[in-house]
């Protein structure tokens, strides 16, 4: 029976055509060419009427099954092509850096920290890190701060209730010790990090704030290097009109020790001549001995300053608590 013999090969050709359609437009054309009013498969169904009555049911059934198969293939091909059209043309490399942040901004303290780190990186400092929960040895003893020193007073230090007396580090100077214990000299590091003190929150104090510690150990290191370095970094941060001045001071881990005063147009605008900004000095030989460096061979300097202080100066912020309240009206301005 010629008609019945036509069904299978026609169906196969239709399926092949559908599978070969390269895109959705081509697929719709192929659909029309087979199943449209003048389509090839439609023509086959029209021939059904010419068959003898007794053959019609069987032939009709065969044609219907074939048609369903073609329609299913059409649907599947359409889904596949739609999916392909929705996919990016090039494979996506998710390791590429993003072009812009979708939402939000960096916190002003993060921005200032990044700028400070960038300035120190230019002159060869690496970033080091240490634990915020410290022990008395790294935070105080190794820095020659004896047990009866006021800095260890429970008025100033948060102690963790446990037999080992861990504490929340009161300064990033503890990381000086950890770094020197873990590597031989020379050392050239900065340590940005969070510190804790039992201060009541007011406009200039908060129980937690951030510091940057610096440590430079090599042969023949001088106060001149220290002064030049601090001056360079503050000019990078605050502009070329920055002046700094060293005032004699005392820290148990440096000798001689200084406080660094800072001035520029901003400070003048605040009605002040100088602003105290950091502590520093030449690393005490006793500290070198504590970490196993030979003080007859190695010299060094260290400094520490508060990041909030610099951010407040830079942006003209008069209340430190604004940094921690996460009020978007404040944060949006940076």
Task: By CB under 6 A, tell whether 279 contacts ligand DAH.
Answer: yes
Residues 191-230 that bind ligand DAH (CB under 6 A): 213
Minimal distance, residue 203 CB to ligand DAH, in Å = 19
Determine the interface stretch with ligand DAH among 46-54, 88-96, 297-305, 310-318 (rule: CB under 6 A): 297-305
Decide: 214 and 105 in contact? Cβ < 8 Å: no
**Distance between CA atoms of residues 207 and 227, nearest Å:** 30
Determine the interface stretch with ligand DAH among 68-76, 83-91, 153-161, 279-287 (rule: CB under 6 A): 279-287
Q: Number of C-alpha atoms within 13 angstroms, CB side, residue 191?
A: 26
Minimal distance, residue 135 CB to ligand DAH, in Å = 16
**Distance between CA atoms of residues 216 and 194, nearest Å:** 21
Task: By CB under 6 A, tell whether 284 contacts ligand DAH.
Answer: no
3 state DSSP class of 171: coil
**Distance between CA atoms of residues 197 and 159, nearest Å:** 10
Task: By CB under 6 A, tell whether 308 contacts ligand DAH.
Answer: no
Determine the interface stretch with ligand DAH among 15-23, 40-48, 122-130, 299-307 (rule: CB under 6 A): 299-307
Q: Which is nearer to ligand DAH, 71 or 255 (CB)?
A: 255
Nearby residues of 131 by Cβ (< 8 Å), 6 or more positions away: 169
Task: By CB under 6 A, tell whether 188 contacts ligand DAH.
Answer: no
Minimal distance, residue 241 CB to ligand DAH, in Å = 25
**Nearest CA among 286, 284, 293, 306 for reference residue 187:** 293
Decide: 175 and 130 in contact? Cβ < 8 Å: yes
Site of interaction with ligand DAH (CB under 6 A): 171, 173, 213, 251, 254, 279-281, 302-304
């Amino acid at each position: 029976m010629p008609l019945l013999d036509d069904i299978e090969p026609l169906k196969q050709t239709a399926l092949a055509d559908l599978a070969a359609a390269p895109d959705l437009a081509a697929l719709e054309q192929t659909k029309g060419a087979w199943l449209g009013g003048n389509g090839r498969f439609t023509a086959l169904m029209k021939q059904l009427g010419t068959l003898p009555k007794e053959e019609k049911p069987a032939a009709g059934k065969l044609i219907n099954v074939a048609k369903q198969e073609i329609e299913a293939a059409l649907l599947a091909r359409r889904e596949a092509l739609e999916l392909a059209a929705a996919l990016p043309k090039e494979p996506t490399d998710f390791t590429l850096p993003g072009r812009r942040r979708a939402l939000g901004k960096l916190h002003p303290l993060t921005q200032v920290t990044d700028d400070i780190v960038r300035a120190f990186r230019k002159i060869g400092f690496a970033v080091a890190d240490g634990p915020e929960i410290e022990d008395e040895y790294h935070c105080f003893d190794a820095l020659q701060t004896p047990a009866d020193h006021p800095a260890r007073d429970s008025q100033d230090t948060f102690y963790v209730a446990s037999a080992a007396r861990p504490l929340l580090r009161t300064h990033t100077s503890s990381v000086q010790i950890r770094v020197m214990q873990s590597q031989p000299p020379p050392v050239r590091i900065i340590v940005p990090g969070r510190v804790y003190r039992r201060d009541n929150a007011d406009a200039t104090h908060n129980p937690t704030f951030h510091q940057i510690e610096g440590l430079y150990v090599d042969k023949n290191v001088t106060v001149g290097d220290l002064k030049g370095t601090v001056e360079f970094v503050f000019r990078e941060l605050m502009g070329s009109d920055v002046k700094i001045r060293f005032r004699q001071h005392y820290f148990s881990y440096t000798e001689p020790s200084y406080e660094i005063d800072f001035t520029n147009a901003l400070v003048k605008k605040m009605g002040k001549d100088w602003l105290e900004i950091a502590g520093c000095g030449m690393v005490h030989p006793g500290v070198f001995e504590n970490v196993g460096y030979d003080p007859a061979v190695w010299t060094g300097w260290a400094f520490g300053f508060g990041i909030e202080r610099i951010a407040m100066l830079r942006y003209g912020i008069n209340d430190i608590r604004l940094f921690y309240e996460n009020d978007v009206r404040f944060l949006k301005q940076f």
